[in-house]
């Protein structure tokens, strides 16, 4: 097996992809505590929210405040999702380090999620790039190709269309691109093949894998992307997450299980798993009654991975 | 990625590994219905029970009756677990097609589980082989190396010891061998490396992978073994299972999620996933109140894998 031993980054997207799928509004003070504790557990990329109108996603209305706090933490890459130029302008104002622009490979999902065709969304990338450059900002523009492995509305999504949009996103000014299995349709073979093809289009600018665990294959899909050469993954603490326009899409891969996967194989992540599990317990209290996911928290670390003093 | 497109066998071990970990005794009539429905869903290898003293595992006291029924189903490979010569003699009497002999790579687990050292268990394999040959039986002898990736009692298990026992089991007369992550300590790198090394010792007589999903890596470990060349896997419907002497070892990989994994990658299994899910629903009724696992049953098959008429 071709498993690299290079460092791997887990970008926490629970505060955005996770919380947007949960109806209740988590108080800002808890979100701030989450960001702080995730940072203390070693997370160095956190998507703290989304610049969408508060009437659409009241859960994320405090995104600007979260960016402001996150920027006080040295070395933290603060990322926000932006659906359009207006959102990008707010991201630039707040000084976020990274803007994540969704671009649906499914025409039907694109209309449902962004009320734009994929090519209209590509045009937006160009406008956002121009605004970023005009502002003299160093905020990175990352485009996530959503529904890259299939769509609950449209069904099959052609790999050729995904690759066309990867190229279009780069041509329009994206600094980086990623592939997302928004609805949990991917399998390891598809993941391996599409990422391999994606690298031929985008080279090392293909720099993120985003997987849901809707049908139990999330971690296996991460492995397939890792074997294809991806070393940066989105994940949500406690496996929360979904997409409001992708029915049944619940459950990102969980941060703590992913951290365990990499640690067990000896890949450095900089993450402190017991601290992540402690944070998960706090988040579970805040979200009491919501369906959470993930497996490690039940069993804990294996005896072979516990600190020496605990093995006595 | 090196993913074969050859047929894959999922051996159902829910009636043995699953039910032995659940205190309640499932009535024989339900077990018979389970075997029948699993067969109707396409399963062609089923471990129906274990020939251990009924006072130790009253849940499996009806194993002989289950073997008798299973043998009426054409083409079904009926397997039973046997812990010692006495159990093997019962298996030979009932005409089971396959005996699964556990052999712990962990000295401590071997003493807890079998009250024998690993080498004493190897000596038993020789006696069982002699008894099988003396009886003129064609019952296959398969040795499953348990705790091959670590042990909750002992901690680390040396790969060299696992490979020594693989060789010893074959020398003692095993027809086939497999590697089992009894307690959910394996990771994909370990799995790939140990199976690759195992093939060098056992060649194609290394013919089974047995994984638990205790820490979320079960399916990824299956993928690693598949990539190493294994095309036969144990699994439990609804992900039940564990080991009475391996605390925290709950949860085999679930049959239905594994069937979905292979189907999604185009590997033939002969399994009818909607029928498996229907059976899972019945088993869940019978086991109401027990902790079940698996993911596919919540979300169902993706739109892209549903029968054509359902996609309209």
pLDDT-derived band of residue B312, with 50, 70 and 90 as boundaries?
Answer: very low
pLDDT at residue B311 tops 60: no
Phi, psi for B212 (deg, rounded to 5): -105, 155
pLDDT-derived band of residue B3, with 50, 70 and 90 as boundaries?
Answer: confident
Q: Which residue of A has its CA nearest to B195?
A: A1
Q: Sign (positive/negative) of CA torsion B80, B86, B88, B91?
A: negative
Question: Can you read off the two tokens belonging to residue B249?
Answer: 């070892």
Q: Sign (positive/negative) of CA torsion B49, B50, B53, B57?
A: negative
CA B8 distance to own-chain centroid: 14
Cα–Cα distances in angstroms (integers) from residue B224 to residues A82, A116, A194, in the given order? 37, 40, 19
Q: What is the pLDDT of residues B132-183, one digit of tens each?
A: 999 999 999 999 999 999 998 999 999 999 999 999 999 999 999 999 999 8
How close A110 comes to chain B (CA, Å)?
Answer: 18
Q: Which of B191, B103, B199, B84 is nearest to B146 (CA)?
A: B103
Contacts with B265 from chain A: Cβ below 8 Å: 187-190
Q: Which of A144, A142, A145, A141 is nearest to A105 (CA)?
A: A145
Could you confirm whether domain B9-311 is CATH 3.20.20.450?
no
User: Among partner residues A150, A216, A254, which is closest to B219 by beta-carbon distance?
Assistant: A216
List per-residue pLDDT tens for chain A, 312 residues long: 778 889 999 999 999 999 999 999 999 999 999 999 999 999 999 999 999 999 999 999 999 999 999 999 999 999 999 999 999 999 999 999 999 999 999 999 999 988 999 999 999 999 999 999 999 999 999 999 999 999 989 999 999 999 999 999 999 999 999 999 998 999 999 999 999 999 999 999 999 999 999 999 999 999 999 999 999 999 999 999 865 555 555 689 999 999 999 999 999 999 999 999 999 999 999 999 988 988 999 889 999 988 654 544
DSSP B297: H
Residues of B labelled as active-site residues? 243
Contacts with A223 from chain B: Cβ below 8 Å: 188, 220, 223-224
Q: Is A208 known to be catalytic? A: no
CA B252 distance to own-chain centroid: 8
What are the residues whose beta carbons fall under 8 Å from the beta carbon of A54, sequence distance 6 or more? Answer: A60, A61
Q: Which residue of B has its CA nearest to A266?
A: B189
How close B223 comes to chain A (CA, Å)?
Answer: 7
Taking only Cα atoms into account, the Rg of chain B, rounded to an integer number of angstroms, comes to: 18
Contacts with A266 from chain B: Cβ below 8 Å: 189
Q: What is the pTM of this model?
A: 0.95
The neighbour count for residue B5, using CB atoms within 10 Å, is: 10
CB A49 within 8 A of CB A90: no
Query: What pLDDT, on a 0 to 100 scale, did the predictor assign at position B288?
Result: 94
Query: What pLDDT, on a 0 to 100 scale, did the predictor assign at position B10?
Result: 98
Q: Which of A128, A28, A58 is nearest to A87 (CA)?
A: A128
pLDDT at residue B308 tops 70: no
Q: Which of A183, A192, A216 to mutate to test the interface with B (most CBs of B within 10 A)?
A: A216
Beta bridge partners of A140: A98
Least confident of A116-125, B83-92, B294-303: B294-303
Domain locations along chain A: 9-311
User: Among partner residues A183, A190, A265, which is closest to B188 by beta-carbon distance?
Assistant: A265
Q: What is the pLDDT of residues B217-276, one digit of tens each?
A: 999 999 999 999 999 999 999 999 865 555 555 689 999 999 999 999 999 999 999 999
Helix/strand/coil percent split, chain B, to 5? 45, 15, 35
Segment B47-55 mean pLDDT:
95
Contacts with B219 from chain A: Cβ below 8 Å: 216-217, 219-220
Binary contact (B264, A228; C-beta < 8 A)? no
Burial A166-199 (b: 16+ CB within 10 A, else e): bebbbebbbbbbbbbbbbbbbbbbbbbebbebbb
CB A211 within 8 A of CB A204: no
pLDDT at residue B190 tops 50: yes
pLDDT at residue B109 tops 60: yes
Question: Can you read off the two tokens belonging to residue A255?
Answer: 């941060």
DSSP B141-186: EEEEEETTT-BTTTB---HHHHHHHHHHHHHHT-SEEEEEETTS--
Binary contact (A214, B1; C-beta < 8 A)? no
Binary contact (B216, A3; C-beta < 8 A)? no
Segment B9-18 mean pLDDT:
97
Binary contact (B299, A248; C-beta < 8 A)? yes
Burial A28-50 (b: 16+ CB within 10 A, else e): eeebbebbebbbebebbbbbbbb
């Amino acid at each position: 097996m071709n498993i690299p031993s290079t460092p791997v980054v887990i970008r926490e997207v629970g505060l955005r992809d996770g919380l947007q799928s949960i109806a209740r509004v988590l108080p800002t003070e808890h979100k701030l505590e989450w960001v702080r504790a995730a940072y203390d557990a070693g997370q160095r990329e956190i998507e703290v929210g989304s610049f969408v109108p508060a009437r659409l996603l009241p859960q994320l209305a405090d995104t600007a405040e979260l960016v402001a706090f996150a920027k006080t933490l040295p070395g933290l890459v603060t990322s926000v999702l932006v659906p359009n130029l207006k959102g990008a302008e707010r991201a630039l104002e707040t000084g976020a380090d990274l803007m994540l622009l969704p671009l649906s490979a499914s025409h039907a999902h694109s209309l449902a999620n962004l009320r734009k065709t994929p090519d209209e969304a590509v045009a937006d990338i160009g406008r956002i790039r121009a605004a970023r450059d005009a502002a003299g900002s160093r905020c990175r523009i990352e485009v996530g190709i959503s529904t890259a492995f299939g769509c609950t509305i449209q069904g099959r999504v052609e790999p050729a269309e995904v690759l066309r949009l990867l190229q279009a996103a780069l041509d329009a000014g994206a600094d980086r691109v990623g592939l997302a299995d928004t609805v949990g349709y991917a399998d390891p073979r598809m993941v391996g093949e599409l990422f391999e093809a994606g690298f031929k289009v985008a080279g090392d600018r293909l720099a993120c894998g985003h997987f849901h665990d809707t049908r139990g294959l999330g971690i296996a899909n991460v492995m397939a992307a890792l074997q294809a050469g991806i070393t940066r993954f989105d994940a949500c603490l406690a496996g929360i997450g979904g997409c409001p326009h992708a029915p049944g899409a619940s459950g990102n891969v969980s941060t703590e299980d992913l951290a365990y996967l990499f640690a067990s194989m000896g890949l450095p992540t900089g993450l402190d798993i017991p601290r992540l599990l402690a944070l998960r317990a706090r988040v579970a209290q805040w979200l009491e009654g919501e369906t959470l996911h993930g497996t490690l928290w039940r069993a804990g670390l294996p005896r072979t991975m516990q600190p020496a003093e605990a093995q006595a």
